[in-house]
Structures are given as C-alpha cells and as structure tokens.
Structure 1
Amino acid sequence: MKHIKGMLAVSVLYLLALMPLPLARKIGEMLGKRALKKAGRQLKVTKKNIEYCFKALSDKEKSELVETSLIETGRLAGEMGMAWIWSPERVLGKIEKIHNQAVLDDALAEGNGVILLAPHLGNWEVLGLFLSTQYKITSMYRPPKIEMMDRLIRKKRARLGSKLAPANVKGVRMAMKALRAGEVLGILPDQEADQGSGVFAPFFGKDAYSMKLLPQLAAQTGAAVVSGYAKRLPDGQGFELVFSRADEQINSKDLAASAAAMNAEVERCVREVPEQYQWEYKRFDHLRDGKRGYD
C-alpha cells in the first residue's frame, strides 16, 4: 500500500512540475479551500494554533488568518513539483529578490560556521536549493514515512552537493564536523522535539516543547545563528529570500535561555508573514502539565 501511495505522490509531483508556477499554485489553493470545507484535522489544528498564538486578534481576524493559512499551505503543496523536479537554474530564476545575504556572508567570515535556522515558513525547499548553490551546506533531515518519497527528496536535496544528516547520533557528528569546518548547517527548528530530547521554551507566549539540538550546537561551537526563509510573492510571482542574524543569547550555555532565543527568532520571522507559516503542525502537542494540546 505504501508503494502505491509513493507512486501516486511522485506522479502528482511530476504532473505539477509540468505546469507554470501560477497554475500549480492555483491547484494547491483549491486543496487549501477543500481543507477548509472538509473541517478535518488540518483545520482543527490550525484553529487551535491561531487561538494559542494570537490571543489579541478578534474572532474575525483569527478566522481570516486560519483561512489564508490553509490556502497558503495548499499553494506550498502546489509548488513542490517545481521545487523538486524543475532544474535548479529554473527554480533559482523564480527568486525575485534577496534581503540581507551579507548577514550570512559576514557570519561565515567569523570562522565558526553558521547554523541556518529555517522555520517552516514560505517555501523552505527553495531556500535550501539556493543555499546549496552558494555555500557548503549540511542539512538535518527527518525522512518521510513513504520510502519512494524519501528517495526522491534525498536525491533532489543533494543534487548540488549538499549533505543530508539524519536525526540521530551520526547526524549530530556530521553537524559538528560541518560547523567546525566553517560551513553552513541547516536546521528546521520548529517541530516538537521527541520526548526526552527537548526543553520547554516560550513560543508566542506559550510554552512549547522545543529541540535541544540547535541550542546545544550553538553553545558548543560558537557558531553564528542566522535565520532564513523564502517568502511567497503574490500574483504569480516567485519568491523573496530573507536573512537575519539571531540574537547572541542563542549561543548561551544556559539551555533555557538559548531555547527561548531560538523560539523568539522563529516567532520574529513568522510575524513577518504569519499566513505562510505551517500552522497545521501540532506545535503544542505536549504541555507542561502532561496534558495534550489538541484533545
């Protein structure tokens, strides 16, 4: 059954890759609107996350953000054929503007490597492809459950020489090696950590069980931490890349302080374009009191 699902998923990606980007996004937009009407898990989780994180918004504003968020997530799905199947040159041609790349270059020049903090915001595959054309980069990678998709993603992410580090002891060694060599290490830091491997830290004013890996690597290596994301542009346009230097508190040896700084940087990025964040992810699944955040 998984093999059939994998074949279908890959076939859909190749079909989307045949379309112009505006049309592929439109197909994805239809999927997002369907998720709104279906009132399933994605809608439920998105509503809960918006309620947790934007208490100051009116009910109308929250509903509008939920709607636009699911539509943007649909557009992201529509873009994956482009991101994984198109030639690198064609994908890079969709990058309209780059903000603050000098921040990343200056951080690398310090000689301790750079941790590229990349939230699930906009299209992180476009960001990753750009980085792999400009820098020596190793990216932490958690494989999907469908093996055929895993093979495709690995092949496409590594096509320009970037290395993929698994989320295990071997991957941590690869991460340390990259930073000590003065290279870039890419981490998507905003998924809930596995039980026993995280720490609670505030995210939009609510404690979230957060990864220890990025704070620990930053403290141990002294690597600069730079955030980056690829913002989706309207009206059939491509993307803008945005880079920023994270607060130096993220390098603190105090794990709680470092994790708080990590989440604060993710939050700052998200507030720039909140509708393009992956709100359907269960970011607050495990709470301090032992309860579940989405029951």
Structure 2
Amino acid sequence: MNVPMRDEAMDAAYALGWTIVRKMPEPAARAAFTALADRTWHRYGSGVRQLEKNLCRVLDKKAVDDEVRVLSKKVLRSYFRYWLEVFRLPEYGRDRILGDMRVSGHEPMLATLESGRGVILALPHMGNYEHAGAWLVHMGHPFTTVAERLKPESLFDRFVAFRESLGMEVLAHRGASAYGRMAQRLRSGRPVCLVVDRDLSASGIDVEFFGATARMPAVSAALAIQTGAALYPVTLWYEGRYWGARVHEEVPVPGEGARQEKIQAMTQEVARVFEQGITAHPEDWHMLQKVWVDDLAEDGR
C-alpha cells in the first residue's frame, strides 16, 4: 500500500529535524524555531484557535481577548522550543541534562524507588517531558512509557527509536498488553511515566478542571490501585535556559469505596495538581487539542 504524500512529508520533516536541526548552531536553531512559532501563531489555524479556547478556561474568560492572544503566542514559542529540544536532546550530555534541571519535591519519589516500590509519574503536556525523562534515566532510573501511534508507521518508529536511545522503554499506546507490561514493571519496582492530561481512549474519567468537566485517562490511578505503586503528579516548565519541574506529593489510594470510586477520586486529585501547575506556568502548557467535555461533544465523543 502506498504511503500518502502528506505522511511521507511528515516523516521527512522529522527526519530532517533529527539530522540537520540537531547539528545546527544552537542560537541559529532557536531563532529559526521562534520564527516558525510566530508564523504559526499569525496563521491562526485550528490548533491555535483551540489553544486559545483552552486558555480562556485557564484564565476564566468568556472569550479571547488581548491577554489570551499574548499568552497564546508565548505558548507557541514554548511549544516550538519543546520540539527544537526534542531534535537536539541526543546532543546534550549528561552534565547538561542534570545540571540545567531545576527540580523540587523529587526526594520522596527517589526514596520510594530506592525502597523497591514502583512509581507512576503522571505528567501534563508541559515544558519538556522528554528532557525530564532523560533526567530520570541519568539519575539511575530507566523507565517505561507509552507512545501514541503516529502515521506513517515510520514516524512512530522514529519516535520510539529516539526515546529508546535515551534509555526509555516505549510501548505502543493501544492494547491491553501495554497495560499489563506497565503493571509488571511497577511490581518489579521500576518507574512508569505517563502523560495524562488528555484522554486518547474510550475509558477516560470525567473530572472537574478549571471549573468545567474535562476528560482524562484513568490509567495512572488504575495502575496504582492494582500494583501498589506510588502515584506522583509532576508539573514542568521553562526557567530561562533551564528546565523546571516539581514532583508533587503522592496521591494516596482512598481507604474506602469501590475500585471505580477510588480511580475517580485519584484522577480528580491529579487534575487538581495539574491545575496548580498550569496556573503557575500557563505559557508552558502545550495543549492545542480538546480536553473539555463540551468541546469533545462537538466531535461526537
């Protein structure tokens, strides 16, 4: 079967990113990606419009105004910085990955891993979670994660190869086998990292998020309940040239209630922590897709 031209172009663009962009002088690459971000913002496509709709929720606004427009431009620049750093991350040495990370609250999480208990790190699409993953690997804790299947298959393979080169185990998103393997890793005392502020399945949990109902994956809470692993939400941002991260307090499994009630309560707590992190650093929340139920209903979901 022939690969559609659009898919071929997408794969070629990412291939160039991991070859040419990663070898460019860093100041030139950053200037180019900032210009691409501004161009994308000016085009005002569907992704930017959805981003601004999401930011209206975060800022408690009824409609897009100048403040939202200014913020959305900052988000696009942050988002394109993320992609630039994805392409260049294989060039970063251990000293830079560890030395330029400004992380707090991580001591309990590391102590949990050292004790032999598994850890689930639940993250939103904030800052640079690829770099955060590389930081965790260099701290001596290789982890397992999942990746959304991309088209064409060769593009998905590139992302898997990239993440595996950093020391991550990558599972395809769909299928019970991925869940089972994550449970195995957790029971053996390893970490699992999951980006969970947008539901990609049909089994998401409805939670209150910035005053409205949003849908988020149930997988992090379900794994914690099933395996006994500790669930830690993490929020991420940029601090100038540095990478910022906070590992929040463990979300405990409720002592009472049915399994589904426990999943609901834990997922709601993760959403509450994400609210805090996004409120503090809205310019680094890269959400150009729909997460609120009212928006998803427009697509019949």
Is the 8 Å Cα contact of residues 125 and 285 (structure 2) preserved in structure 1? yes
Residues 109-118 or 50-59, more deviating: 50-59
Match of 1:193 among 195, 200, 214: 200
State the match for 1:287 in structure 2.
294
Displacement of 1:110 after TM fit?
5.0
Residue 22 and residue 212 in structure 1: after superposition, are their counterparts in 2 closer, same or farther (change >3 A)? Answer: same
Match of 1:202 among 182, 204, 208: 208
Partners in 2 of 1:102 and 1:160 — Cα distance? 22
Partners in 1 of 2:100 and 2:74 — Cα distance? 22
Displacement of 1:74 after TM fit?
2.1
Residue 44 and residue 160 in structure 1: after superposition, are their counterparts in 2 closer, same or farther (change >3 A)? Answer: closer
Is the 8 Å Cα contact of residues 250 and 262 (structure 1) preserved in structure 2? no
State the match for 2:247 in structure 1.
243
Residues 89-98 or 198-207, more deviating: 89-98
Is the 8 Å Cα contact of residues 6 and 147 (structure 1) preserved in structure 2? no
Q: Specify the code of the residue in structure 1 equivalent to 2:30.
A: R
Q: Specify the code of the residue in structure 2 equivalent to 1:146.
A: P
Partners in 1 of 2:167 and 2:80 — Cα distance? 29
Match of 1:113 among 113, 118, 122: 118
State the match for 1:25 in structure 2.
30
Displacement of 1:5 after TM fit?
3.0
Displacement of 1:214 after TM fit?
1.2
Q: What are the superposed Cα offsets for residues 54-83 of structure 1, whole Å, 9 maximum, x if unpaired?
A: 216994432322221122112222222112
State the match for 2:106 in structure 1.
101
Partners in 2 of 1:68 and 1:136 — Cα distance? 32
State the match for 2:155 in structure 1.
149
State the match for 1:42 in structure 2.
47
Is the 8 Å Cα contact of residues 111 and 182 (structure 1) preserved in structure 2? yes
- TM-score, structure 2 normalization: 0.85
Residue 177 and residue 96 in structure 1: after superposition, are their counterparts in 2 closer, same or farther (change >3 A)? Answer: closer
Q: Which runs of 5+ in 2 are unaligned?
A: none
Is the 8 Å Cα contact of residues 58 and 279 (structure 2) preserved in structure 1? no
Residue 210 and residue 93 in structure 1: after superposition, are their counterparts in 2 closer, same or farther (change >3 A)? Answer: closer
Match of 2:275 among 261, 267, 275: 267
Q: What are the superposed Cα offsets for residues 135-156 of structure 1, whole Å, 9 maximum, x if unpaired?
A: 0311122232233322222112
Residues 62-71 or 85-94, more deviating: 85-94
Is the 8 Å Cα contact of residues 3 and 146 (structure 1) preserved in structure 2? yes
Is the 8 Å Cα contact of residues 115 and 185 (structure 1) preserved in structure 2? yes
Displacement of 1:208 after TM fit?
1.0
Partners in 2 of 1:241 and 1:212 — Cα distance? 23
Please list, as runs of the form range in 1=range in 2, the aligned pairs for 1:53-68 lying within 5 A after superposition: 53-55=58-60, 59-68=65-74
Q: What are the superposed Cα offsets for residues 195-235 of structure 1, whole Å, 9 maximum, x if unpaired?
A: 3x11211112211122121111122222211233443232x
Displacement of 1:25 after TM fit?
2.6
- Describe the SS at the equivalent of 2:291: coil
Equivalent residues, number: 288
Q: Specify the code of the residue in structure 1 equivalent to 2:131.
A: V
What value does the CA root-mean-square deviation take over the aligned residues? 2.7
Partners in 1 of 2:216 and 2:254 — Cα distance? 13
